[in-house]
Amino acid sequence: MTFNRRQLFLLSAGVALAGAGGLTAAPARAEASATDKRISDFAGGKEPASGKITLTAPEIAENGNTVPISVKVDSKMDGDDMVDSVMIVADGNPNPEVATFHFTAMSGAAEATTRMRLAKTQNVIAVAKMADGSVYMDKKEVKVTIGGCGG
């Protein structure tokens, strides 16, 4: 399709007016209720207990773009003491669920390490679901000095 000069001018003016009309997007943030709902859905409605799971995260992250985190669950990885999955959430990010790791008996150990983006100072939460249906949780606050998600 070809445009003549007048059509191109009108199209450009329309785009400029739409942009000037206040169509700006505000940065999205997850609500605490969305994080709680996601944890409740993952846990099957059970209240997570403390213990068995250890979340390792820096107390202060100088750059929110790459925050290293590790999670480890004390488990024999056999029978009812096996870890089915571990979910990591960040309650201040636009999408609170960061990662979910699934384990089998062939995993040998329920450990995972990754990097994540954090938009601001917030809680990072790890939730482990066991084969017997029990659920464990650990939480760390990470202070971010430079935001990674537009912060």
For the chain, the average pLDDT equals 86
- Per the CB < 8 A criterion, the answer to whether 80 and 132 are in contact is yes
- Residue 83's beta-bridge partner residues? 130
pTM of the model: 0.76
Residue 5's pLDDT is what?
77
Q: pLDDT by residue for the chain (151 residues), tens digit each?
A: 677 877 767 777 777 766 665 544 444 555 668 899 999 999 999 999 999 999 999 999 988 899 999 999 999 998 888 999 999 999 988 889 999 999 999 999 999 999 999 988 999 999 999 999 999 999 999 999 875 665 5
Give dist(CA 141, CA 92) in Å, integer.
Answer: 11
* DSSP secondary structure code for residue 65 in this structure: T
CATH architecture of the domain formed by 28-144? Sandwich (2.60)
Q: Which of 68, 51, 65 is nearest to 139 (CA)?
A: 51
Q: Which of 117, 130, 142, 139 is nearest to 50 (CA)?
A: 139
- Per the CB < 8 A criterion, the answer to whether 39 and 127 are in contact is yes
Residue 26's pLDDT is what?
45
Domain ranges for the chain, please list them.
Answer: 28-144
Residue burial 100-118, b: 16+ Cβ < 10 Å; e: rest: ebebeeeeeebbbeeebbb
